[in-house]
Structure 1
Amino acid sequence: MKATEIGKIVHSHPLLLGSCSLKKTSSLLCTLHVGKKRLSQYIQENPQVLKNWGWDRKIESFPDSGDEVRSKAERTKFLPDIGFVENSSKMKAALKACRGNGEELQERFDCIVKAGSDRKDVCELIQSCPQNPNQTTDVIEMKIDCLVNELGYPISSLLTATRYLSHKMERVKLRVRMFNWLKDHGIAAPGLSLSTLISCSDSYFIKTYVHRHPAGPQVWHDLKNEIESNC
């Protein structure tokens, strides 16, 4: 939802927003079985529905729209083409995890291939993490460029760090730059996989790595502020 659209709801329904303790967006999207675009449109048309989506409320999924039925049919065709077995549990889970129609998913798939990955590897990547093609091609290109040209990892790292494309770049950059700082100061041994670096929780990363050096917490804080200010 655009800032102007959010502003309209804030100005017109301040009491409603102040009285709602909403579920997380990711939880709503999953429970309602709806995409961000449709959810945004629905909220703008029916702001009062927010009071039904509190953390203590039971939520029922939206009925499928015509567009969503077509989109699901296209996803059902796309997924077997990249190695999913029809009617399998993995296929059913992937149908729920994937966002977009068949054309969009194919464009995103091709985007990863064109960046230098083998088609077979991209199939395995999406089978391991079906959320990977949920982003626009621009975002995928930006994340791969960051992986290779800024962070210094080969594109083949995607096969082991299968959730890299689904993580926020701020998280990835902060973890990698902090770990590189620790390596430069002889505190951390090289060779830790990208997957290990980005998959653990912040609390675990800070406890296990950042606190190895007395200046670590301050460096972590400074890097975090720098990265967030540039995003």
Structure 2
Amino acid sequence: MTDTRIRFSQAQKDLCDYFHSTRGYSLPDAEHLSENTPVFLKKLVSKLEDRSFDQSIRRLLCFHPINEFEPFLESIGLSPTKYKHLLPKNIIYLSDDPLLLENYHVLWSYGVPRIKIGRIYLESAEVFRYNEEVLLSKLKNYENFGISRAAIVKLVTCCPNLLVGEVNLNILRVYEKLSSLGVQFDLVIQCLSDRSKYNWSQVSEMLTFLDRMGFDKQALATLIKETPVFVFHESGKNIYLLVAILIKVGLKTHEILNLFVKNPHILIGNFVKFLGHSVNFLTEIGMELGDIASIISTHPQILGSSPCRSSDSVLCHLSLPRKSLIDMIKADPTKFTSLACTRSVDEPVNIDEQLFLKEKTEFLLKLGFAECSDEMAKVVSKFKGRGDKLQERFDCLVNSGLDYHDVVKMIKMAPPVLNQSTDVLIKKIDYLTNKLDYPLESLVDFPSFLCYSMDRVRLRFQMVSWVTDENGLLTNSRGATKKYGGKISLSYVLTLSEKSFLKYFVDMKPKGMKHYEMLKKSILGSKGIAN
């Protein structure tokens, strides 16, 4: 462990001791405040002198009181730029604001993750001014209508204003409408994101609109269960535009619902906007509405995959009469993107993107990820290419000897691991265990090893091997030695910047740079610094 890490770890312990022993806060509170405040700790450590670190930090905390609201607000998920204007002007001790602490503990005890409480504080600060029992009674009011505690936690972290004023009747209407369809509210509510804002009145009106459209209730329930995210996407307003477009081209109610059920992805993202462009384009060139409806029914992903150019510019570019262009699209709708859209003709058309998304989602569900959760969304965004390849690569890691649950943990820590082909994964694992002689289990703590290029791995570890002797001692040009217990951390060697790597592993010996340049030329050739 480097000196910086040792100091940071010691600072955490001393800060925890300060909050618990000196200030009298509970141990869970003290631990959370010290373990989830890296920015505050970094600022604290920077004030200390190197030589008397242990004494200085305790002296600093004892004789120079800190503003306790800074680590508190950071520990509940707010960055300094967000909480700077929220700091009280006349007090620095948390204990001087008992209502804040009381309501904070009510939320935490109810099940709201501490790190999520920051958004509530930021958007609805009045919640932390409530007198005893007020906040808990507001939470209980939603429970009394049948909403589960887990759903309420999700609701208040994504929509903090629900805790201000009376019970939100629009939420209750949404709950009742979904329940009448046989859809579990908890299933749908997991699609909420604390990075978005929601208009519950619009969501309620959208569900009423679908009901008035005369959709078959069982089919509608199936659609919501399979693609619950569409209920809240853009607070439901996309559905009006989409239905209007489909009715305009002549689709009947049952045809519209059938289209939704078969292609649920058209209810989210930019599909509606791009479909509108495409329908306008086809109308402008003179295609009959019935033909447009037919193409939408059979190839919706084509018409909603990309914005169109103007019809005049396309006709001019292709030097075609309108009827010829219409006939070409009717004969083969898959040509629409290359003919009419802003996408380059030579650029591959990714019409399977939504299918890939579904495959990725299904793969993560099998691993135990919560459907439509923020965690799932974060991991999915890191995956590239076809979803069916993920299982193959996951199995490759398990078959290498890693525990199934450890591999799941690895994927959560470093999703891009599964962007590597099985051949590459096997090659990197073999190099790790047979060439570098690290245990396979070291990947569990640092799965990102599998994301680094082999060039970077070879270059850095061959240099490390050259500067350390058989006993693991690193000797600098002045004869000083440092012993690395056992193996040097994989993450330490690979994550160092080029400047830091040169400082700690190359410049340690007089001929270090010469040897490093020789290795670079041998391993990288003219490619430069490996990533």
TM-score by length of 2: 0.31
Q: What is the RMSD computed on CA atoms of the aligned residues?
A: 2.3
Cα distance between partner residues in 1 of 2:458 and 2:446: 14
Q: Which of 142, 157, 171 is matched with 2:456 structurally?
A: 171
Unaligned runs of 5+ in 2: 1-342, 476-481
Secondary structure in structure 1 of the residue aligned to 2:415? coil
2-structure distance, mates of 1:170, 1:71: 31
Percent same amino acid at aligned positions? 36
Q: Secondary structure at the match of 2:437?
A: coil
Matched ranges for 1:145-156 at <5 A:
145-156=430-441
User: 8 Å contact 1:84–1:127 — kept in the other structure?
Assistant: no
| Aligned mate of 1:45, from 328, 346, 352 | 346
**Aligned amino acid, residue 45 of structure 1:** D
5+ long unaligned stretches in structure 1 = 1-41, 47-61
Q: Which piece of structure 1 moves more, 149-158 or 178-187?
A: 178-187
Query: In structure 2, what is the Cα distance between the partners aligned to 1:225 and 1:160?
Result: 31
> CA shift at 1:103, angstroms?
2.0
Cα offset for 1:65? 3.7
Residue identity matched to 1:215: K
Structure 2 match to 1:106: 391
Q: Does 1:199 align with 2:500?
A: no
The count of aligned residue pairs is 173
Q: CA deviation at 1:43?
A: 6.8
Structure 1, residues 154-210: CA drift from partner, whole Å, max 9, x if none? 111111222111110111111111111111274253342111111121121112221
SS in 2 for 1:170: helix
In the TM superposition, residue 101 of structure 1 has moved relative to its aligned partner by: 2.6
Instruction: Look up the match of 1:82.
Output: 367
- Out of 114, 132, 146, the position equivalent to 2:417 is 132
Partner of 2:51: none
- Equivalent positions of 1:1-231 (< 5 A) are 45=346, 65-184=350-469, 186-187=474-475, 189-190=483-484, 191-229=487-525
**SS of aligned partner of 1:90:** helix
Distance of 2:443 and 2:369 partners within structure 1: 19
Q: Which residue of 2 aligns with 1:24?
A: none
Moved more, 122-131 or 181-190: 181-190
Larger Rg: 2
**Shift, 1:214, TM fit:** 1.1
How far the C-alpha of 1:44 sits from its partner, in A, is 7.9
SS at 1:80's partner residue? Answer: helix
Runs of 4+ in 1 over 3 A off after TM superposition: none
Code of the aligned partner of 2:489? S
Q: C-alpha distance in 2, partners of 1:98/1:203?
A: 30
Residue 219 of structure 1 and its aligned partner are, at CA, apart by 1.3
Partners of 1:113 and 1:208 lie apart in 2 by 35
Measure how far apart 1:139 and its partner are: 0.8
Say if 1:132 and 1:165, in contact at 8 Å, map to a contact too.
yes
